[in-house]
């Protein structure tokens, strides 16, 4: 097994991308506020329904001078959905081909972002309006090194404030601010939203935009819950400004996975006013990524990347080297960034090629193309990355390697039960 870890490290060391010197450490010492945008796909950005923007707040962030907005950023989740997205961004490892690593590999050894930052003086915390056992979070978070986990039991949650998977996003953010203020700075905090979750139910008196009219109920409802989430985000930003936290925090917002599956391609063809075939369906796996850093000039970024790239990107912005860590993703800002984006099923997408179940398309035009040597290499590299990640996770290989300067996490140091419960 130590042979396995050596082989893995030979592979991941070759993937390593040097940080961009202009951005390395620009957010050093700042708080990190991650916002997990449930089921938000990038097509929502600047989409107009009956002449109205669906997500006016997120749209405004795409034009904010201190925000980087990535418009070719993809989710890479499998069956683990939300849990896979979290797994990738904390570890820069892929979720598993079946099931969720959160559930089946909750007791592995990890060298995750909260633990790394914890050893640099950060306090880490997760905020989520569902029960702490969902997706086995309460078990794996202890191995990722999350100091605190504020689940539903920490919120007042009046009956009318709970819908679908838990506390609605607006009361969630409203109540979260005082909890966040109790966390020592600098902190690494993650807020997991849930109102924009399938099948997108919404109390109609709270709706501020009409449903879509495709006739497909969940697709039609999606626009109302996406608008609700967008308003909740805008309110959260206002709370952060009032509390003074905004000025010394980097805010990272990402869509976790698709909200509209390919079973709804017919309705999506109406939404987008073009035929949604397998090529368009792959393009729809784009999710928004925003990185807001006070005092740093942002802009719209077109490089291709995915969720597995978030950890090295964020650590480098904080001025933390990732060289010693076993990671499958690369810093989005690095000139050496690997811009071929694997999907969990072995398909991939890059600026030039979209590969779907053996078929190749030109990403810019959607036309079928022939395989070249370069494409064959992309295919092999995609498979190798996924296979390597699976070996690491399935064999729990990080047990056999401790990066220089990293102290292994002791899960017994953590307890998320609410004493007031």
Shortest distance, CB of residue 46 to ligand GP9, whole angstroms? 24
- Give me the 78-97 binding string for Mn ion, x by CB under 5 A, dash otherwise: ---xx---------------
Alpha-carbon gap, residue 347 to 355, rounded angstroms:
5
Shortest distance, CB of residue 187 to ligand GP9, whole angstroms? 21
Q: Which helix (H) or strand (E) holds 125?
A: strand 123-128
Tokens representing 24 are: 């390395």
Q: Point out which residues bind ligand GP9 (CB under 6 A).
A: 81-83, 130, 134, 165, 192, 194, 197
Alpha-carbon gap, residue 327 to 322, rounded angstroms:
8
* E-assigned strand segments in 129-183: 148-150, 162-163, 166-167
* E-assigned strand segments in 183-323: 187-192, 249-255, 289-292, 299-301, 305-306
User: Which among Mn ion, ligand GP9, none contacts residue 400 (Cβ within 5 to 8 A by kind)?
Assistant: none
Report the DSSP beta bridge partners of residue 362: 353
Tokens representing 222 are: 């999606």
User: Which among ligand GP9, Mn ion, none contacts residue 292 (Cβ within 5 to 8 A by kind)?
Assistant: none
Alpha-carbon gap, residue 178 to 280, rounded angstroms:
43
Q: Does residue 378 contact residue 340 with C-beta atoms inside 8 Å?
A: yes
Nearer CB in complex with Mn ion: 82/123: 82
Shortest distance, CB of residue 74 to ligand GP9, whole angstroms? 17
Catalytic residue check, 382: no
Q: Which of 82, 330, 363, 388 is catalytic?
A: 82
Nearer CB in complex with ligand GP9: 81/379: 81
Alpha-carbon gap, residue 235 to 83, rounded angstroms:
26
Query: Which one of 37-45, 184-192, 229-237, 409-417 is the stretch in contact with Mn ion (CB under 5 A)?
Result: 37-45
* DSSP string computed for 113-147: HHHHHHTTT-EEEEEESS-TTGGGHHHHHHHHT-S
User: Which among ligand GP9, Mn ion, none contacts residue 134 (Cβ within 5 to 8 A by kind)?
Assistant: ligand GP9
| Residue length of the chain | 421
Nearer CB in complex with ligand GP9: 224/327: 224
CA quadruple 118, 123, 127, 132: dihedral positive or negative? positive
Q: Does residue 287 contact residue 41 with C-beta atoms inside 8 Å?
A: yes
92: left (phi over 0), alpha (psi -120 to 50) or beta: left
Residue nearest to Mn ion (CB): 82
Nearer CB in complex with ligand GP9: 133/335: 133
Query: Which one of 75-83, 140-148, 172-180, 235-243 is the stretch in contact with Mn ion (CB under 5 A)?
Result: 75-83
Q: Which of 256, 280, 309, 331 binds Mn ion (CB under 5 A)?
A: 256
- Give me the 38-57 binding string for Mn ion, x by CB under 5 A, dash otherwise: x-------------------
Nearer CB in complex with ligand GP9: 81/316: 81
Residue nearest to ligand GP9 (CB): 81
Shortest distance, CB of residue 82 to Mn ion, whole angstroms? 3
Shortest distance, CB of residue 418 to Mn ion, whole angstroms? 24
* DSSP string computed for 280-299: HHHHTTB--EEEE-TTS--E
Alpha-carbon gap, residue 327 to 312, rounded angstroms:
8
Shortest distance, CB of residue 39 to Mn ion, whole angstroms? 6
User: Which among Mn ion, ligand GP9, none contacts residue 385 (Cβ within 5 to 8 A by kind)?
Assistant: none
| Residues at the interface with Mn ion (CB under 5 A) | 38, 81-82, 256
Q: Which residues participate in catalysis according to the annotation?
A: 82
């Amino acid at each position: 097994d130590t042979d396995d870890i050596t082989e893995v490290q030979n592979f991941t060391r070759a993937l390593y991308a040097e940080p961009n010197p202009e951005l390395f450490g620009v957010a050093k010492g700042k708080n990190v506020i991650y916002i997990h945008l449930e089921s938000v796909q990038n097509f929502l950005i600047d989409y107009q329904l009956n002449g109205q923007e669906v997500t006016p707040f997120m749209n405004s962030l795409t034009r904010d001078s201190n925000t980087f907005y990535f418009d070719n950023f993809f989710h890479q989740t499998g069956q683990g959905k939300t849990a896979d997205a979290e797994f990738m961004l904390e570890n820069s490892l892929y979720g598993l081909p079946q099931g969720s690593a959160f559930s089946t590999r909750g007791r592995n050894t990890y060298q995750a972002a909260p633990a790394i930052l914890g050893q640099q003086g950060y306090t880490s915390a997760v905020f989520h309006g569902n029960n702490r056992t969902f997706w086995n979070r309460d078990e794996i978070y202890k191995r990722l090194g999350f100091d605190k986990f504020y689940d539903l039991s920490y919120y007042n949650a009046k009956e009318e404030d709970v819908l679908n998977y838990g506390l609605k996003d607006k009361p969630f953010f409203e109540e979260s601010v005082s909890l966040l203020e109790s966390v020592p700075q600098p902190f690494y905090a993650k807020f997991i939203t849930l109102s924009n979750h399938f099948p997108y139910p919404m109390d109609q008196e709270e709706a501020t935009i009409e449903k879509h009219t495709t006739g497909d109920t969940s697709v039609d409802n999606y626009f109302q819950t996406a608008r609700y989430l967008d308003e909740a985000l805008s309110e959260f930003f206002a709370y952060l400004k009032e509390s003074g936290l905004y000025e010394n925090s980097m805010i990272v917002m990402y869509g976790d996975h698709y909200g509209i599956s390919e079973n709804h391609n017919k309705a999506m063809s109406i939404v987008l006013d073009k035929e949604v075939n397998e090529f368009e369906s792959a393009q729809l796996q784009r999710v928004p990524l925003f990185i807001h850093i006070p005092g740093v000039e942002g802009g719209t970024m077109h490089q291709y990347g995915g969720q597995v790239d978030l950890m090295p990107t964020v650590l480098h912005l904080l001025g933390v080297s990732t060289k010693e860590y076993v990671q499958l993703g690369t810093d989005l800002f690095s000139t050496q960034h690997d811009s071929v984006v694997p999907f969990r099923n072995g398909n991939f997408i890059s600026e030039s090629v979209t590969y779907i179940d053996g078929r190749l398309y030109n990403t810019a035009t959607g036309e079928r193309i022939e395989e070249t040597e370069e494409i064959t290499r992309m295919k092999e590299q995609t498979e190798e990355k996924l296979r390597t990640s699976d070996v690491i996770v399935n064999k729990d290989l990080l047990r056999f390697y401790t990066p220089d300067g990293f102290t292994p996490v002791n899960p017994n140091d953590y307890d998320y039960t609410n004493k007031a419960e």
